[in-house]
Amino acid sequence: MKKKRGNNEGTIVKRKDGLWMASISVGRDPTTGKLKRATFYGKTRQEAADRMARAMADLSRGVFVRSEKLTLGEWLDCWLKEYKKPKIRPITFDSYEMLIRCHIKPAVGHVALKDLRPEQLQWLYNEKLKAGLSARTVRYIHGY
């Protein structure tokens, strides 16, 4: 007899093509109220279970990010409002927001988080230095 998994333990099934698929609930869509799920794949059941376990641990710590659809600009907005705003002074928040809005988002904000490459960031730093920004400002941009 198969063992049934409990609530919030996720689902692991073998697909017809031989891959194992694991999925977990990651909350509800605020506009529609529908359940949102994250799906992970692996060649073995253990590989899929490991990926699901890592995602569940990230979810419980509050750092889970669905990177396949998230852009750098969206992540920076979330990071700034959810992680930094409660810990910094309002003037510092305004400074961070201005650098992200004026320098980072126009250049690489549209890039999907999973597709972001180091050479794209290096290009951003080089372009900002060529445009006349100080090395200190470019270091601040790098820090975000």
Domains in the chain: boundaries: 11-61, 72-143
Radius of gyration of the chain (CA): 20
Q: Are 79 and 85 in contact, with CB atoms under 8 Å apart?
A: no
**For position 6, what pLDDT does the model report?**
66
Q: Are 120 and 142 in contact, with CB atoms under 8 Å apart?
A: no
Amino acid at 9: E
Q: Which parts of the chain sit beneath pLDDT 50?
A: none
CA neighbor of 84 nearest in space, from 144, 21, 128, 28: 144
**For position 26, what pLDDT does the model report?**
82
Look up the pTM and report it. 0.59
* Paired tokens of 122: 């290096």
